[in-house]
Copies of this chain bind each other. A is one copy, B any other.
Amino acid sequence: MSDGITIALDAMGGDQAPGMVVKGVEIALQRHPEVRFLLFGAEDEVQPLLAKLPNLGKSVTLYHTNEIVADDAKPSLALRTGRQSSMRLAIEAVADGRADGVVSAGNTGALMAIAKFVLKMLPGIDRPAIASFFPTRRGESVMLDLGANVECDAENLVQFALMGDVFARTVLGLIEPTVGLLNVGSEDLKGNDAVRGASARLRAMVTPIRFYGFIEGGDIAAGTVDVVVTDGFTGNVAVKTAEGTAKLFGEYLEAAFRHSLPARIGYLFARAALRKLRMRSDPRRYNGAIFLGLGGIAVKSHGSTDAFGFANAIGVAIDMKLNGVLDKIRVELARLSEAPSAPEPAL
């Protein structure tokens, strides 16, 4: 399946890098033994780690650089300087065709700025969006944008809907995914100009998108739609609020089981089932946000993730390539620009 796929990795990005990157490669190789990896990072730090895992030798090539993009570096500065940074070199490996995708757990803003500059945008897309999976009552859904654009107009949201739709069809394998616009109510009059305008366009456009209409915050976890479309400000707050709430609930649960002797005994009996619950809501399983709209595959891992989470982010990049997501988005965009469009609705 994954024959001939090569993934470029920023070995120095992330709180626990480069250790978790190298261990993440080891985990990823168990799932995708044929994939090859290009690692970019400091030889004196990465080489000893690789030496301890001789099995990785035939799958990994290390490219030395001492430059690193700092976590607090301004994206514009990281773009202008740091031409030899591990992040920049890994992205360039995608641009020049040596790799099929790049994964980094480094500075999000810098990764976005450099990836946008080096990989360019897909024709017909004005801005990239950060997309990610999340668990719902019905399984998994996709949400975008999670923070690339703090302000979005109706046209941006329509493009996000289109990219999210293709992404859900390909990577999630859904036949006819439903797409919803996040709003403060379900009625047509609710919300700001951007969401109302996007809704009107999506209803009028000739696209294969199954547009559900507006959804509310409670619909995210309920899995009311397969693709949640929103601006980067709201999406970023929503996804972090959900993570924070899940974490608090987990802590409440732990406290409840420590509460009394019977509760402790109960915990012993229910331990296996609770472990399953913990696995189900493990944020590492959903690690790996995709920069959709770029001319190449770029995946951002949480900066604080471990090897297990990083391996999942690598898996997202591999899935993107295996499913030909970018090509399919290109086809949809081309079809859309050729289609006889319905008259622009008056708002």
Residues of A at the B interface (CB closer than 8 Å) are 72, 74, 135-137, 147, 150-151, 182, 184, 187, 189-192, 216-222, 230, 232-234, 236-253, 255-257, 259-260, 262-263, 265-274, 276-277, 280-281
A260 touches B241 (CB 8 A): no
B241 touches A238 (CB 8 A): yes
Chain A interface main SS type = helix
Residues of B within 8 A of A147 (CB): 184
A253 touches B252 (CB 8 A): no
Residues of B within 8 A of A184 (CB): 147, 150, 232-233, 236-237
Closest residue on chain B to residue A222 by CB atoms: B244
**The residue from B248, B257, B265 contacting A221, defined by CB atoms under 8 A apart:** B248
Residues of B within 8 A of A267 (CB): 266, 270
A273 touches B249 (CB 8 A): no
Residues of B within 8 A of A273 (CB): 256-257, 259-260, 262-263, 266
Residues of B within 8 A of A220 (CB): 241, 244-245
Since A150-B184, A216-B236, A256-B277 are in contact, a sample of 10 more A-B pairs with Cβ atoms closer than 8 Å, ordered by chain A residue number, is: A135-B248, A216-B237, A217-B236, A217-B244, A218-B241, A238-B238, A246-B249, A249-B249, A263-B273, A263-B274
Compute how far the CA of A218 lies from the CA of B220 in the bound complex, rounded to whole angstroms.
Answer: 16
Compute how far the CA of A217 lies from the CA of B243 in the bound complex, rounded to whole angstroms.
Answer: 8
**The residue from B222, B242, B250 contacting A242, defined by CB atoms under 8 A apart:** B242
A151 touches B192 (CB 8 A): yes
Compute how far the CA of A257 lies from the CA of B249 in the bound complex, rounded to whole angstroms.
Answer: 16
Residues of B within 8 A of A259 (CB): 272-273, 276
B240 touches A237 (CB 8 A): no
B281 touches A237 (CB 8 A): no
A244 touches B218 (CB 8 A): yes
**The residue from B187, B192, B244 contacting A233, defined by CB atoms under 8 A apart:** B192
Closest residue on chain B to residue A263 by CB atoms: B273
Listed residue (A191, A232, A233, A263) with the most chain B CB atoms within 10 angstroms of its CB: A233
